[in-house]
């Protein structure tokens, strides 16, 4: 029984990490390659090719880390806030959507498992903004609220009806929505949660939180 539970747990981890890391990276590379193919200006095309090259290298490193059950590469250097800023910077370079990041200066100590979950939330939410939202701006915030650490990703895009969306059958890993459901499950396992606020034409706010104590 314990072995079966261990196998199931490992499969769940791999499924989430492959989607949140490798699959999102491949989706980004696909969008960049299409943009490069359609770009007529040589300098901009060269920039897109550089993004593709760096993204492929990061994806390779990410796949090695997933197999080794290691934290994402963005968490290697500095804090969770710094990792979120690096993710947002890449998002701006690749999508052209304006993004701002704000972070509380006095965040409590955060376990690596919580850092990974919150970073994955930001990655997934920004991937959805790039693919579906049609947004001009997006704001990412990392804040402390008592003993809770919270991340919010808010865009000014087309929005949607989240009530209807949550009630749909769970999509497969290749369809939109799998990432948010997987992130919600990951946060719940850590004692936290995830909410989505949106309406057609009014943008979207994705929020995730975990209580970490002091």
Q: Is 70 exposed, middle or buried (0-12, 13-18, 19+ CB in 10 A)?
A: middle
- Dist CA 41 CA 83 (whole Å): 32
Asked if 46 and 23 count as a contact pair (C-beta separation under 8 A), the reply is no
Q: Which CATH number fits domain 2-211: 3.40.50.880, 3.10.129.10, 3.40.50.2300, 3.30.565.10?
A: 3.30.565.10
**Between the CA of residue 70 and those of 64, 87, 113, 214, what are the distances in Å?**
8, 18, 10, 25
Mean pLDDT value across the chain: 77
Check whether 9 has a pLDDT greater than 60.
no
In tens, the pLDDT along 128-163 reads 898 887 889 999 999 988 889 999 999 999 998 887
pLDDT band of 165, cuts 50, 70, 90? low
- Dist CA 74 CA 178 (whole Å): 22
Angle between helices 80-95 and 112-128 (to 10 degrees): 20
In tens, the pLDDT along 72-119 reads 666 766 789 999 999 999 889 888 899 999 999 888 778 888 888 898
Closest listed residue to residue 50, CA positions, set 75, 33, 27: 33
Asked if 161 and 200 count as a contact pair (C-beta separation under 8 A), the reply is yes
| Non-local CB neighbours of 57 within 8 Å, separated by 6+ positions | none
The full set of domain ranges for the chain reads 2-211
């Amino acid at each position: 029984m314990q072995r079966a539970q261990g196998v199931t747990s490992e499969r769940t981890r791999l499924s989430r990490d492959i989607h949140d890391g490798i699959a999102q990276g491949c989706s980004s590379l696909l969008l960049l390659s299409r943009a490069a193919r359609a770009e007529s200006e040589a300098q901009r095309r060269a920039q897109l090719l550089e993004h593709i090259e760096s993204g492929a290298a990061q994806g390779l490193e990410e796949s090695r880390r997933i197999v080794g059950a290691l934290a994402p590469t963005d968490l290697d250097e500095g804090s969770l806030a710094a990792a979120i800023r690096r993710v947002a910077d890449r998002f701006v370079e690749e999508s052209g959507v304006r993004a701002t990041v704000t972070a509380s200066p006095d965040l409590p100590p955060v376990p690596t498992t919580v850092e990974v979950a919150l970073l994955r939330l930001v990655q997934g939410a920004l991937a959805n903004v790039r693919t579906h939202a049609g947004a001009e701006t997006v704001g990412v915030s990392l804040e402390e609220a008592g003993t809770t650490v919270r991340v919010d990703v808010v865009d000014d895009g087309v929005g949607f009806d989240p009530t209807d969306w949550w009630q749909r059958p769970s999509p497969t890993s290749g369809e939109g929505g799998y990432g948010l459901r997987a992130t919600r499950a990951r946060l719940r396992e850590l004692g936290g949660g995830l909410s989505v606020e949106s309406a057609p034409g009014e943008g979207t706010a994705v929020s995730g939180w975990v209580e970490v104590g002091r």
